[in-house]
């Protein structure tokens, strides 16, 4: 998916990698929140649109089960991080299964040759 997003528009990939504090503002108490749309300037609109395009690309690539895992995320960085954690876990499990089956096969081969 990385290559697909980069090929569409490298700006979309930058939105994911940079992890924009998507139009976040910090109050005097140190509380962070999203900037109200009424306060958007042209640069804010551009950032918001890039984030929306990137979310659209990611969502279109997922089935409904995977979509449910990321549907609550407000930024593409959050979505991407969630997907990375999900797939890293799956890859680790798959690697462990492959190693276990390879070991069983090797043990079976040894027994058959004896």
The residue among 7, 81, 19, 84 whose CA lies nearest residue 47 is 19
| DSSP reduced 3-state for 32 | strand
For the segment 1-59, what is each residue's pLDDT rounded down to a tens digit? 788 888 888 888 888 887 766 677 778 888 877 788 888 899 889 888 888 898 899 88
What is the rounded radius of gyration, in angstroms, for the C-alpha atoms of the chain?
21
49 vs 101 pLDDT, higher one: 49
For the segment 43-100, what is each residue's pLDDT rounded down to a tens digit? 889 888 888 898 899 888 888 888 888 888 878 888 888 888 877 655 555 666 777 7
Verdict on whether the full-model pTM lies above 0.85? no
What pLDDT score does 35 carry?
A: 82
What pLDDT score does 42 carry?
A: 93
What pLDDT score does 20 carry?
A: 60
**Count of residues in the chain:** 114
Give ∠ CA 26-39-11 in degrees, rounded to 5. Answer: 85
Residues 6+ apart with CB under 8 A from 6: 12, 13
CA dist., res. 108 & res. 40, Å (int): 66
Q: In angstroms, what CA-CA distances link 83 with 13, 29, 46, 60, 109?
A: 15, 32, 25, 14, 38
């Amino acid at each position: 998916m990385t290559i697909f997003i980069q090929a569409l528009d490298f700006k979309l990939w930058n939105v994911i990698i940079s992890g924009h504090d998507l139009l976040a503002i910090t109050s005097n108490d140190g509380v962070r929140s999203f900037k109200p749309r009424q306060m958007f300037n042209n640069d804010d609109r551009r950032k918001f649109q890039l984030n929306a395009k990137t979310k659209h690309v990611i969502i279109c690539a997922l089935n409904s089960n995977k979509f449910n895992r990321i549907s609550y995320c407000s930024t593409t960085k959050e979505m991407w991080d969630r997907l990375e954690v999900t797939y890293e876990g799956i890859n680790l499990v798959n690697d462990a299964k492959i190693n276990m089956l390879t070991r069983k096969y090797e043990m079976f081969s040894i027994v058959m040759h004896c």
